[in-house]
Structure formats: structure tokens, C-alpha cells
């Protein structure tokens, strides 16, 4: 549920990419928002570190380094990390968004859970932690707030922001990170954290799921820490009578104060959980817990915090269970979750002698078998994985040999056409080359059948639209369309193809089409005719007529056809359109006076004015060279382009 108040980040776009839409939750280290990745258009969760922590350069550097490591954990029960970055003073992680609720929400609403429900949640949690442990990481902050239950029922572990390498001691910074209700004794006393601190926290979470309450309580975090160090986690059946002894044993084993007594990692604990479940009856698994202690509220003890390791001790902590009660109290701290650093002292007292683990090897073997069969919980071990070797463009035999050398098998063989990959060689694989894959898994190969070829169909006599459909259906494409007259093939039907029918071409090739324009029709010449006469003659020839909106001056009288397109004598198809342009009449031009001029000068003047010139020499003017008279007197007007006759003497 969104808990957005007046938060300055809501509505802000981080790093130019992530639009912050709503605040989801606030923790001791960071605030989590629902955001939109505007680049990939997907909803995700954005975890933004609190400014006070972001100001610590070494903390930020470690946060970034460890976040990148966690991002490599590919597991169905781990919340995926997509991206990490900084934007000014904001340090953030972009993570998978899980629509649903947390285990804390479930416990707050329902109190104690039935054993079956508790184990159904615990098993995928342990599978996720097992993946981290076998990859070399410790979560260090397991609690119900970090167990997400999706609307689809998936269980995922979140907030690996505190993870450290298994062999890393955390007291180098002078602070302990975690949540007091779930801290293992060695975390409190020595600041050390290996895989067994997650086992301890899971034992506390199991107790809380079975009883609806935390095993240790107090007026201050310091009192809770003191109880972790000096008191065993009580048996769940003490709070919920009737719970099977096997569940008491699980909680006791997981929460042993001596870490040497606990299962060494989450995978080992998962084996014990599966063994315990197998020994319970249906009635025991589905029993409704009577009189469970529901928590009903949330407080600061559920928050993750960074706490200076400085809470003073009135005296050194006792080294065994025989401590003086009342005199070994802790200074009180804020009610907010604070993990403290105590004076170094001897190791925490041992809990009880390790109980014999009957058939432990068989249990672990059963765990591996169940997880390998994909029964909803996954067993991850980095030694069980390899990568798909480079086998693209290799023959099928070569690919099989390389896969076998990598400890993989050939799965399904598929075939596909390829214009670029040689026939008989590998086009692609699934998973892809370089992908991380479990040993002995199978890889699907897609083998090239070479270029796909298609025979050009016989399309003669097909209507053009139908021919295009046929080509598309055969995996070809209609190319350039040219048209020509045909006495045999009707207009708009295919005459032929290029290449001809029966020719093989690659799939997708374009096929040129020759389409009939029908029988040819000779266009009559109607220039100089009236509009009505021209239209009648053209329509009688099977042609359509269009009158141009533009009129031009011409030698023809006004209202007559000045020009046509196509011109007279051209061949067109029946039904084609002839455009007629109508004359505005001739242009009138003033005639130059050329009487007395030489013949050459006179012709030059008249032609320059736009007239044609005709010479009249008669018998007396055969040898003359000057103009005696002109058919249109100089100064008068005549149609441009008309002929002026000059008489020579």
C-alpha cells in the first residue's frame, strides 16, 4: 500500500530515467518508492538511501559494490536488481516491483500461521538464501519485512542491501547493521556475520510465524539484545500448545546461541525443514493455532538501522549461562531499532550439545533431488553451472561435441532458412551462447537450411490485386508494375511476370508484374474544334474527357480547343482520359511598318514582332530588294503568329 506523504522525491525523475510515482515504505537505511522506468516503460521499485548514510563515502562505495554483486544472483525467489546509480545526493537501486504484501503484513493481520503456511513461506526463503550462501553472500537482515508475498503467491526475499561476503567481518566500520529482534548473538557480541546469522534470523522468523509474536521482547532494544545473548529462543509450543515437537526442534536448532550448533547455511536448514515436514501429518500441518499471540502493531524494532557500536556495558557479558541476572543490564537506547557494539569478550555460551542428525547425508541428498526436479524451491550452487559454449556457424556434429565437452546435452533440433548462415550449421541456440546454465541441462539448436527458395507462380490472367495476394502467400513480394497494351488480356490483369513462372527465387524476393492496359485506342486530333464537337468525338472513341481549368491564347478562335493531352494519333487504353485546353483566342500584336525597308530588314522586324512572313515578288520584283507594300499596314494589329505578306519591287 502506498504511504506517500509530502515527499520531495515523488514526481521527480531520477537520473533522467526513473519517474518516482509513490512512496511504498521507509526503513532504517532507505526509502522504497514505486517508480516507472521511462526508457523501458516498466514499473519497478526504487530504493533510495537516506541522505545521512549517502553522505558517508565509504558506506556508499560498499553499498554500490555489494549491490552489483547481488545483481548477479539470478534466482526466482530473490528480488531482482536491475540498475544502480546516483543522482546528485541520491543513491539508488532499481529493483523488481512485487505487487502484493510483506510477511509482516500477513502476521499483523492474521497473527500465528498454520504450520503448513509457515513452512510454505520458509522453504522458498531458505532457497533464496541458499543461493546467496552458495554464491558467497550473507543477507544479514532477514526479517518478515524483507519477505515479499506476491499477489500470484510467489515468495521473494528482498533487501540484500546489507549483504557482505561470507568471510567478511563487519566490525571494521565500528557499526553493526541489522534489526535487533533477528540479530544472532555473534553479531551483537563480535560484529561477525557468516551464513549462520541468516540461519538464526530464519529460526526467529519461523518462531514468529508459528506463534504470532517475537521470541524476545523488552522496553528497549538493549534489553532485546541482552536476551539474544543470554536466553534461548523458547519453544513455539510453549506459546501455542499442540505444535509438533519437530517444529520446536527446528526453531531450537536454527536459533542455537552457539553458532557451531546451528546448520552451517540455509541449504542445510532447508534439508532439516523438508525432513520435518515429511514427518508431520496432514492434521498437524493444517492445525489452526489456538490462542496465538498476534502482534497487531508495528514499531521501531522492525526497522533496519546503522548503530554505532558504543553501548556501554556495566560489566563484561557472562561467558556461559550461569550469569548474574539483574546485574548485567544494558544502557537503555532509543526505541528505534539500534544495534550496538559491545566490548569484545569471550565467545557466547554454547547452547546445548549438538543433537545427532539422523540420516543427514540422506536429507541433503533428498534436498538436492527435490530442488533439481523443480518442486518450487531451487537449489543454487555456483559449481553446478556452466555457460553455453560458442557454437554458432558450427556443424551439428561440432556443436554436439562442444556441448558435450561443456557438460551439456543437445535438446530439441529446429530448422530455419538463412540467407547468411551456411546450410547445416547452427544459426542460434536456446539458451543463447554465453548464457549461464545448469550442468547437464539441454540446449536447443536451430540449424540452417540455407536460403529459402520459392517458385514464381503463374499469374497470367490474374487480376492485379489477386496476383499480389498470391505472391505474398508464397513468400514473395510484388515488385515494379509496368503496363502495356494487350489484345488478349483485359485491362488491369497480369500479362506476365519477371522472372517467368516456375523460376526459383529466395523468399521475400520482389517479382515484377506486367499488367494489361487493354486494347489500344488511337486518340483523335480535336484541336481547333469546338468543345462540344471535341467531347463527342473523344467519347465515341471510348475515351473520357477532362476540360482543363486553364485557358490559353492561341491561333484558334476563342472557345475552340487549343491543345489536348495525349495528342492526336497517340495510342491509349480504352477508358483513358484526354485533357482539353480551351483557347482564349489569338493574341493581337501591332504590326511594324516595313515599307521601303530591304527584304532582310523587313523580315527581321516582322518575325521579331511574332509574325510569319510571306514574300510576293511577281514578275517585276524578281530582282528587287525593297518592300513596296505590306498586307497589314504598319501600326495596325494582327493576331500574333499570323502571316504578313510583303510585296517586293
- Per-residue DSSP letters for 439-489? TT-EEEEEEE--S-EEEPP--TT-BHHHHHHHHHHTT-EEEEEEEE--SSS
User: Are 597 and 546 within 8 A, CB to CB?
Assistant: no
Lookup: cell for 6: 509530502
**Of the candidates 107, 99, 108, the residue with the CA atom closest to the CA atom of residue 152:** 99
Which pLDDT score, from 0 to 100, does residue 352 have?
37
Q: 360-382, pLDDT tens digit by residue?
A: 554 553 344 334 333 333 332 33
Examine the pLDDT at 211 and tell me if it is beyond 90. Answer: yes
* Distance (Å, whole) CA 261 – CA 355: 8
Q: Is 83 helix (H, G, I), strand (E, B) or coil?
A: strand
Pick the more confident residue, 32 or 452: 32
* Distance (Å, whole) CA 7 – CA 221: 29
Which pLDDT score, from 0 to 100, does residue 97 have?
92
Pick the more confident residue, 176 or 643: 643
Q: Please say if 593 is a catalytic residue.
A: no
Q: At CA 643, angle to CA 642 and CA 646, rounded to 5?
A: 150
Q: 229-241, pLDDT tens digit by residue?
A: 999 999 999 999 9
Examine the pLDDT at 330 and tell me if it is beyond 80. Answer: no
Q: Which domains does the chain have, with CATH numbers?
A: 13-96 (3.30.200.20), 101-350 (1.10.510.10), 383-448 (3.30.10.20), 453-516 (3.30.10.20), 520-585 (3.30.10.20), 588-648 (3.30.10.20)
Residue identified by cell 534439508 is 271
Which pLDDT score, from 0 to 100, does residue 189 have?
86
DSSP output for 198-233 = HHHHHHHHHHHHHHSS-S---SSHHHHHHHHHHSPP
Which pLDDT score, from 0 to 100, does residue 178 have?
60
Lookup: cell for 229: 545473548
* Distance (Å, whole) CA 505 – CA 563: 48
Residue 437 vs residues 76, 129, 407, 443, 608: alpha-carbon distances, Å: 14, 20, 10, 9, 92
Examine the pLDDT at 601 and tell me if it is beyond 70. Answer: yes
Could you say which DSSP state residue 582 is in?
Answer: E
Q: Is the pTM of this model over 0.75?
A: no
Pick the more confident residue, 63 or 248: 248
Which pLDDT score, from 0 to 100, does residue 66 have?
67
Q: Is 639 helix (H, G, I), strand (E, B) or coil?
A: strand
> What's CA 5's distance to the chain center, in Å?
31
Lookup: cell for 396: 551439428
Pick the more confident residue, 436 or 318: 436
Which pLDDT score, from 0 to 100, does residue 438 have?
75
Catalytic residue among 15, 37, 105, 141: 141
Q: 61-119, pLDDT tens digit by residue?
A: 877 776 777 777 888 899 988 888 888 888 999 999 988 889 998 999 889 999 999 99
* Distance (Å, whole) CA 468 – CA 584: 47
The torsion angles phi and psi of 531, rounded to 5 degrees, stand at -65, -45
Q: Residue 31: which H helix or E strand, with range?
A: strand 30-37
What does R_g of the chain's alpha carbons equal in angstroms?
47
Which pLDDT score, from 0 to 100, does residue 124 have?
94
Examine the pLDDT at 391 and tell me if it is beyond 60. Answer: yes
Mean pLDDT along residues 219-246: 91
Which pLDDT score, from 0 to 100, does residue 246 have?
95
Q: 563-594, pLDDT tens digit by residue?
A: 999 999 998 988 889 999 999 988 889 999 99
Average pLDDT over the chain reads 81
Q: Is 544 helix (H, G, I), strand (E, B) or coil?
A: strand
Which pLDDT score, from 0 to 100, does residue 360 have?
53
Lookup: cell for 407: 557438460
Lookup: cell for 147: 519477505
Q: Percent of the chain at pLDDT above 70? A: 81
**Of the candidates 516, 437, 520, the residue with the CA atom closest to the CA atom of residue 484:** 516
Examine the pLDDT at 508 and tell me if it is beyond 70. Answer: yes
Examine the pLDDT at 201 and tell me if it is beyond 80. Answer: yes
Mean pLDDT along residues 179-198: 90
* Distance (Å, whole) CA 434 – CA 109: 46
* Distance (Å, whole) CA 626 – CA 648: 6
* Distance (Å, whole) CA 68 – CA 220: 35
Q: 402-433, pLDDT tens digit by residue?
A: 999 888 999 999 988 887 788 899 999 999 88
Residue 312 vs residues 211, 343, 344, 348, 420: alpha-carbon distances, Å: 33, 8, 11, 18, 74
Which pLDDT score, from 0 to 100, does residue 315 have?
30
Q: Please state, as a whole number, how many other Cβ atoms lie within 10 Å of the Cβ of residue 479.
A: 14
Amino acid at each position: 500500500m502506498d504511504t506517500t506523504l509530502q515527499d520531495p522525491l515523488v514526481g521527480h525523475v531520477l537520473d533522467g530515467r526513473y519517474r518516482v510515482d509513490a512512496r511504498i515504505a521507509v526503513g532504517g537505511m532507505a526509502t522504497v518508492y514505486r517508480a516507472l522506468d521511462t526508457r523501458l516503460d516498466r514499473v519497478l521499485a526504487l530504493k533510495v538511501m537516506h541522505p545521512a548514510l549517502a553522505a558517508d563515502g565509504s558506506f556508499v562505495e560498499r553499498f554500490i559494490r555489494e549491490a552489483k554483486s547481488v545483481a548477479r544472483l539470478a534466482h526466482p525467489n530473490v528480488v531482482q536488481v536491475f540498475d544502480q546509480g546516483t543522482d546528485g545526493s541520491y543513491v539508488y537501486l532499481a529493483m523488481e516491483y512485487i505487487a502484493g504484501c510483506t510477511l509482516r503484513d500477513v502476521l499483523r493481520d492474521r497473527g500465528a500461521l498454520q504450520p503448513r503456511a509457515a513452512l510454505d513461506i520458509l522453504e522458498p526463503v531458505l532457497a533464496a538464501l541458499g543461493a546467496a550462501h552458495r554464491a558467497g553472500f550473507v543477507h544479514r537482515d532477514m526479517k518478515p519485512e524483507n519477505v515479499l508475498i506476491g499477489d500470484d503467491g510467489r515468495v521473494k526475499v528482498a533487501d540484500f542491501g546489507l549483504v557482505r561476503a561470507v568471510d567478511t567481518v563487519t566490525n571494521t566500520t565500528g557499526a553493526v547493521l541489522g534489526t535487533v529482534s533477528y540479530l544472532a548473538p555473534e553479531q551483537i557480541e563480535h560484529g561477525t556475520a557468516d551464513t549462520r546469522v541468516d540461519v538464526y534470523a530464519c529460526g526467529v522468523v519461523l518462531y514468529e510465524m508459528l506463534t504470532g509474536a517475537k521470541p524476545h521482547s523488552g522496553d528497549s532494544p538493549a534489553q532485546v539484545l541482552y536476551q539474544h545473548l543470554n536466553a534461548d529462543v523458547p519453544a513455539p509450543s510453549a506459546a501455542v500448545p499442540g505444535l509438533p515437537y519437530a517444529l520446536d526442534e527446528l526453531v531450537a536448532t536454527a536459533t542455537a546461541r552457539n553458532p557451531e550448533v546451528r546448520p552451517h547455511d540455509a541449504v542445510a536448514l532447508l534439508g532439516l525443514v523438508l525432513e520435518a515436514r515429511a514427518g508431520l501429518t496432514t492434521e498437524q500441518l493444517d492445525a489452526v493455532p489456538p490462542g496465538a499471540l498476534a502482534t497487531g502493531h508495528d514499531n521501531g524494532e522492525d526497522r533496519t538501522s546503522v548503530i554505532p557500536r558504543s553501548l556501554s556495558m556495566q560489566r563484561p557479558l557472562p561467558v556461559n549461562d550461569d550469569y548474574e541476572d539483574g546485574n548485567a543490564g544494558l544502557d537503555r537506547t532509543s526505541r528505534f531499532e539500534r544495534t550496538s557494539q559491545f566490548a569484545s569478550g569471550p565467545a557466547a555460551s554454547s547452547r546445548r550439545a549438538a543433537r545427532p542428525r539422523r540420516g543427514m547425508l540422506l536429507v541433503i541428498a533428498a534436498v538436492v533431488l527435490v530442488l533439481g526436479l523443480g518442486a518450487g524451491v531451487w537449489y543454487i550452487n555456483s559449481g553446478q553451472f556452466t555457460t553455453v559454449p560458442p557454437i554458432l556457424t558450427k556443424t551439428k556434429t561440432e556443436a554436439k561435441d562442444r556441448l558435450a565437452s561443456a557438460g551439456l546435452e543437445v535438446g530439441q533440433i529446429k530448422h530455419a532458412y538463412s540467407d547468411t548462415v551456411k546450410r547445416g550449421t547452427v544459426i542460434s541456440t536456446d539458451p543463447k551462447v554465453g548464457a549461464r546454465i545448469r550442468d547437464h541441462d539441454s540446449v536447443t539448436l536451430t540449424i540452417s537450411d540455407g536460403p529459402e527458395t520459392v517458385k514464381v507462380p503463374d499469374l497470367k490472367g490474374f487480376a492485379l490485386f489477386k496476383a499480389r495476394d498470391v505472391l505474398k502467400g508464397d513468400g514473395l513480394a510484388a515488385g515494379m508494375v509496368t503496363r502495356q497494351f494487350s489484345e488478349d488480356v483485359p485491362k488491369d490483369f497480369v500479362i506476365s511476370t519477371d522472372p517467368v513462372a516456375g523460376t526459383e527465387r529466395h523468399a521475400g524476393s520482389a517479382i515484377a508484374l506486367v499488367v494489361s492496359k487493354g486494347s489500344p485506342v488511337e486518340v483523335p486530333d480535336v484541336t481547333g474544334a469546338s468543345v462540344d464537337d471535341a467531347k463527342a468525338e473523344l467519347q465515341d472513341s471510348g475515351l473520357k474527357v477532362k476540360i482543363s481549368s486553364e485557358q490559353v491564347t492561341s491561333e484558334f478562335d476563342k472557345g475552340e480547343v487549343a491543345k489536348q493531352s495525349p495528342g492526336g494519333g497517340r495510342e491509349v487504353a480504352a477508358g483513358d482520359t484526354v485533357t482539353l485546353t480551351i483557347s482564349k483566342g489569338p493574341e493581337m500584336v501591332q504590326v511594324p511598318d516595313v515599307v521601303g525597308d530591304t527584304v532582310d530588314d523587313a523580315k527581321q522586324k516582322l518575325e521579331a514582332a511574332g509574325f510569319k512572313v510571306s514574300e510576293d515578288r511577281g514578275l517585276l520584283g524578281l530582282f528587287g530588294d525593297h518592300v513596296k507594300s505590306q498586307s497589314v499596314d504598319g501600326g495596325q494589329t494582327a493576331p500574333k503568329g499570323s502571316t504578313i505578306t510583303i510585296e517586293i519591287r
